[in-house]
């Protein structure tokens, strides 16, 4: 009786969130899947999904994966040392510093990316300054490099935060214990610090790789219309071509990739680290 009452009140408490989840997650997802596996006449088909093998789409997918991967690696290489520095600082000073790194996140994402556009443009801020100094100008806008730059800039905080969190949670005495047992600082890092921060690394990777894989805003602004990512192609299906079926089909492919990514990560997390 008591249990039932509790279960009932628990359900009541959760109902607003359930409603929210149904309206904004389940329904759109169901619609994507419905459109993905039907054609214009409403008949069931796998064609939309299979069309990923068409060379244009397939190339865009590969390019997306490659750029997202490169951005994630760069983010990791930048964020890990930074996280270590932040975690080793005294508490009062580091909250201030962490905020400093998080600050860009409070600015609108599109605005930030747009800023890079005006900075990098052929006659943009950076080149104007370089010209003024009689230095060779750079031509990076509308290249893959610019897209990676945009991704790293936008998603770096999402890598720093979880890594910093997991590093700062390591007890100093655990590090001391390793040193005490004869490990030098490199051994201590490889055997203690790094493995203990794996959960942070994994959530950092997830939080950078997935948005980088699906973005279309960054590639639109910094890649011009020359470099299409899978995100751009899907976007075009909805906003230009009005082929919702193909757009949904390609989205499903992307979702499968994200799911795979998350499964691999959760397995390596459970096994106590990939190192």
Partner 1 sequence: MGKSLITLEHISKSYDGQLILDDLNLDIHENSFVTLLGPSGCGKTTTLRIIGGFEKPDQGRVVFDGQDITSLAPNKRQLNTVFQKYALFTHMSIEENIAFGLKIKNKPDSYIKDKIRYALKLVNLEGFEKRMPDSLSGGQQQRIAIARAIVNEPKVLLLDEPLGALDLKMRQDMQYELKRLKEELGITFIYVTHDQEEALTMSDHIVVMNQGYIQQEGSPETIYNEPENAFVADFIGDSNIIRATMVRDELVDILGTKFACVDKGFGENKPVDVVIRPEDVELVAPSEGTISGVVTDLTFKGVHYEMDVEACGYEWLVHSTRLSEVGTKVGIKVDPFNIQIMNVPVSEDEEAISETI
State which of residues 192, 255, 258, 262 lies at the interface with partner 1 (CB under 8 A). Answer: 192
Q: Which stretch binds partner 1 (CB under 8 A): 35-43, 151-159, 173-181, 246-254?
A: 173-181
The residue (of 204 and 223) whose beta carbon lies closer to partner 1 is: 204
Given candidates 178, 222, 229, 234, which one binds partner 1 under the rule CB under 8 A? 178
CB nearer to partner 1: give 15 or 176. 176
The nearer residue to partner 1, 138 or 190, going by C-beta atoms, is: 190
Examine residue 202 and tell whether it contacts partner 1 (CB under 8 A): no
Q: Is 271 in the site for partner 1 (CB under 8 A)?
A: no
Contact between 266 and partner 1 per CB under 8 A: no
Q: Please, what sign has the CA dihedral across residues 123, 126, 132, 135?
A: negative
Q: Which is nearer to partner 1, 10 or 177 (CB)?
A: 177
CA separation for the pair 33, 248 (Å, rounded):
7
Q: How far is the CB of 95 from partner 1 (least distance, A)?
A: 17
- Say how far apart CA 106 and CA 96 lie, in whole Å: 15
- Piece in contact with partner 1 (CB under 8 A), picked from 15-23, 72-80, 183-191, 235-243: 183-191
Question: Is residue 184 within the footprint of partner 1 (CB under 8 A)?
Answer: yes
177 binds partner 1 per the rule CB under 8 A: yes
109 to 104, 112, 228: CA distances (angstroms): 9, 5, 20
Provide the minimum distance between the beta carbon of 98 and partner 1 in the complex, in angstroms, as a whole number.
21
Query: How far, in Å, CA of 116 to CA of 223, rounded?
Result: 11
Minimum CB separation from partner 1 for residue 271, in Å? 11
Nearer to partner 1, 6 or 187 (CB): 187
Window 12 to 71, contacts with partner 1 (CB under 8 A): none
* The only residue of 8, 59, 93, 191 in contact with partner 1, by rule CB under 8 A: 191
3-state SS, one letter per residue, for the chain = CHHHHHHHHHHHHHHHHHHHHHHHHHHHHHHHHHHHCECCCCCECCHHHHHHHCHHHHHHHHHHHHHHHHHHHHHHHHHHHHHHHHHHCCHHHHHHHHHHHHHHHHCCHHHHHHHHHHHHCCCCHHHHHHHHCCCCCCCCCCCHHHHHHHHHHHHHHHHHHHHHHHHHCCCHHHHHHHHHCCCCHHHHHHHHHHHHCHHHHHHHHHHHHHHHHHCCHHHHHHCCCCCCCHHHHHHHHHHCCCCHHHHHHHHHHHHHHHHHHHHHHHHHHHCCCCC
Site pattern 122..161 for partner 1 (x: CB under 8 A): ----------------------------------------
Shortest CB 164 distance to partner 1, Å: 19
- For partner 1, which is the closer residue by CB, 55 or 173? 173
Binding footprint of partner 1 on the chain (CB under 8 A)? 171, 173-174, 176-184, 187, 191-192, 195-196, 272-273
């Amino acid at each position: 009786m008591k249990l039932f009452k509790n279960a009932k009140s628990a359900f009541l408490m959760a109902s607003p969130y359930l409603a929210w989840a149904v309206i904004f997650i389940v329904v759109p997802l169901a619609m994507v899947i419905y459109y993905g596996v039907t054609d214009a006449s409403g008949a069931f088909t796998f064609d939309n999904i299979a069309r990923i093998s068409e060379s244009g789409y397939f190339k865009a997918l590969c390019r997306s994966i490659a750029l997202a991967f490169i951005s994630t690696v760069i983010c990791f290489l930048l964020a890990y040392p930074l996280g270590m520095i932040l975690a080793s600082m005294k508490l009062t000073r580091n909250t201030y510093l962490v905020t400093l790194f998080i600050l860009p996140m409070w600015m609108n994402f599109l605005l930030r990316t747009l800023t890079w556009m005006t900075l990098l443009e052929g006659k943009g801020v950076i080149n104007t300054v370089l010209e003024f100094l009689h230095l060779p100008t750079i031509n990076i806008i509308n290249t893959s490099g610019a897209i990676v730059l945009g991704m790293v800039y936008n998603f770096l905080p999402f890598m720093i935060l979880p890594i910093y969190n997991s590093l700062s949670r390591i007890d100093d005495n655990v590090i001391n214990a390793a040193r005490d047992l004869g490990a030098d600082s490199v051994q201590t890092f490889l055997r203690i610090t790094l493995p203990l921060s794996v959960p942070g690394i994994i959530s950092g990777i997830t939080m950078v790789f997935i948005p980088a894989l699906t973005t279309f805003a960054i590639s639109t602004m910094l890649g011009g219309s020359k470099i299409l990512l899978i995100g751009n192609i899907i976007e075009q299906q909805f906003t230009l071509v009005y082929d919702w079926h193909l757009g949904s089909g390609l989205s499903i492919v992307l979702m499968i990739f994200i799911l795979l990514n998350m499964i691999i990560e959760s397995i390596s997390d459970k096994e106590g680290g990939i190192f």
